[in-house]
Amino acid sequence: MSRTEKLQANSSQFTLGGKPFRILGGSIHYFRVPRAYWEDRLLKMKACGINTLTTYVPWNLHEPERGVFNFEDDLDLEAYLELADSLGLWVILRPGPYICAEWDLGGLPSWLLRDPNMKLRTTYPGFTDAVNKYFDQLIKKVVRHQYSFGGPIIAVQVENEYGSYAKDTDYMTFMKEALLSRGVTEQLVTSDNADGLKMGRVKGGCLVLQELNVMTVSLLVAASSLCSQPHRPKMVMEYWTGWFDLWGGLHHVFILLLIEMVAVVTEILKMDMSINLYMFHGGTNFGFMNGALAVGIPSPKPMITSYDYDAPLSEAGDYTTKYRLLRNVFSHYHTQDLPKMPFLVERKAYQPAVVHQHQSLWDSLHFIDKPINMENLPVNNHNGQSYGYTLYETTIHSGGTLNSNNHIRDRALVFVDKQCVGVLDYNVLELTLPDGKGKRTLSFLVENTGRVNYGTTLDEQRKGIVGDIELNKQPLRDFLIYSLEMKPAFVNKLTSGHWLSMHQRPSFPGFFQAKLHIKTQLKDTFIKLPGWGKGVIFVNGKNLGRYSSVGPQQTLYLPAPWLNRGDNQLMVFEELESDGKILFSPSADYGMSVDVQ
């Protein structure tokens, strides 16, 4: 089926199908929600009065290795678009290639950084060639889902927040042509905050509508005055409903500002503008996908695993006070009653799972003279290592002063003969190694805690050991390097490895295994790990993400569709200490809160 009179932005008001149309949008990222819950979350979105779904597309998940594409299962973008269409939701697609999203490297695949001269988000040939090959695969999958062809996509974003980067004046033109030449026919848009509006424009921008990212009316007024398209519809592409959290910080929520937030949304709508709530439902940074905040160079602060975002719909899909208040606001912009609010997904606190066996990291290793960074390791079909940990080992003959020269990215546990002697990171650059006789093994377990997702330092996000480490002012050489990306195949292989009973004292870092036996109906839950230090947890081979005693996040979301009736395998990789049991809770605990300012 084809349609005429697509979304038009030729006057002060949008039209769709030839009729006036206001976009009441909300962001839900399919890659942050288990596929089994896509419909639940979208139905709750529609019941709130939202008529348009917005979603990013993460390049790093869809092309994890150069030329290897994945659009299946939880990454089946076409299924997500078809579901939105079947539920009567329009879609604004934000395909990147850069998405920000508090996502590792803003969604750009780490293998791009194997090129030492790489210039991300520019017309550097090494970047544009990779974008073209990716878009050849991605865009052909979405063009048939456009409004003009009977699908739900009414607009497509040209890159994302380029005005805050703006290293190449030709780049946005390249991106626009990359979409148009592959059959994108719907309304093109950009999205920038007030500071980036001027630099984020597209040359010959009559085809491309500028949209705004704001949190307050005062910022909205200021941004509107900078917009170069005064007689076209205005839309807030990202009205921030909350904020993200960082490890070691506090949990951001609207407390005092909740009523003010509703007042701002009401005012935006009274100004005859369209709006998109970012986020409507945040979901979870499963695995190692969290980004990092570039608060200092080069000392980024990693995001937590949860992406609850204090959004109207919680991480586990619960209604919030914010949801109910916004539903009341949006109800005034519909001629019919809103759909009934769907029932909530039940949750349960399962009985504690007791760890019954453990395995030392050193027993799980199943490989160059100078140390090389993670992305340039000869693994993954020569695409390098993207995420997780890398172990570097060499031989030393003395103690003394170990200096990282700030070449650790991002954090390393340091061992002498498998005994931890300290941590090196952006703040701690030196350690004193104890004296000893003969040859000893010096080990660095380096964690990629998350690449920066926003700002001008994207080209500098190589991880692992990125330069010389010195002992007594002499560079260390002759490294053995082990890639510990902790992909499902690695985790599954561990199950048949060298496991010891908990009656034998565990060593750290190590893997710890427990079983959760479920006889009743499967329900969502949250995992709690009091008494544990820092690490990662896997359930039935699925990486739930990182945990850390520094908080603020105290629980990890475990969706019921990832559980089995009967036995469930729980495996924890712990760096420092273990309590010996895994607890469960029916509710999330994101730690001490602070008001979003």
SS (H, E, C) 350-384: CCCEEEEEEEEHHHCCCCCCCCCEHHHCCCCCCCC
**Residues 532 and 572 sit within 8 Å (Cβ to Cβ):** yes
pLDDT for the residue numbered 213: 57
The C-alpha atoms of residue 522 and residue 564 are separated, in whole angstroms, by 7
Question: Which phi and psi angles does 100 have, rounded to 5°?
Answer: 65, -100
Q: Does the domain spanning 353-358+497-595 belong to CATH 3.40.50.970?
A: no
Q: Considering the candidates 159, 238, 375, 575, report the single residue annotated as catalytic.
A: 238
pTM for the predicted model, two decimal places: 0.95
Tell me which of 3.20.20.80, 3.40.50.300, 3.40.50.970, 3.40.640.10 is the CATH number of domain 15-331.
Answer: 3.20.20.80
For the segment 380-414, what is each residue's pLDDT rounded down to a tens digit?
A: 999 999 999 999 999 999 999 999 999 999 999 99
Q: Is 161 a catalytic residue?
A: yes
Beta strands in 397-530 (DSSP E): 400-403, 408-409, 411-416, 419-424, 430-433, 440-447, 464-465, 470-471, 474-475, 480-484, 500-501, 510-518, 525-528
Average pLDDT over residues 474-486: 94
Higher-confidence residue: 355 or 496?
355
Distance CA 128, CA 138 (A): 15
Of 63, 102, 159, 161, catalytic: 161
CATH 3.20.20.80 residue spans of the chain: 15-331
* Average predicted confidence (pLDDT) for the chain: 92
Whether the per-residue pLDDT at 206 is higher than 50: the answer is: no
**Rounded (10°) angle between helices 258-270 and 321-331:** 20
**pLDDT tens-place string over residues 225-236:** 555 566 788 888
Query: Read out DSSP for 577-593?
Result: ---SEEEEESS----SE
Structure-model confidence comparison of residues 260 and 522, the more confident one: 522
Dihedrals phi, psi of 474, to nearest 5 degrees? -115, 130
Q: Does pLDDT of 443 surpass 70?
A: yes
Q: Which comes out higher in pLDDT, residue 200 or 110? A: 110
pLDDT over threshold 70, residue 270: yes
Position 166 scores a pLDDT of 83
Residue 238 is a catalytic residue:
yes
Residues of the chain within CATH 2.60.120.260 domain(s) are 353-358+497-595, 365-484
Mean pLDDT, rounded, for 566-592: 96
Q: Architecture of domain 365-484 in CATH?
A: Sandwich (2.60)
504 by Cβ neighbours in 10 Å (0-12 / 13-18 / 19+) ranks as exposed
Residues with Cβ within 8 Å of residue 489, at least 6 apart in sequence: none
List pLDDT tens digits, range 320-347.
999 999 999 999 999 999 999 999 999 9
* 154-205 residue pLDDT tens: 999 999 999 888 889 999 999 999 999 999 999 999 887 666 556 656 664 4
**Mean pLDDT along residues 307-324:** 97
Report how far apart, in Å, the C-alpha atoms of 461 and of each of 120, 299, 409, 448 are.
Answer: 11, 11, 8, 10
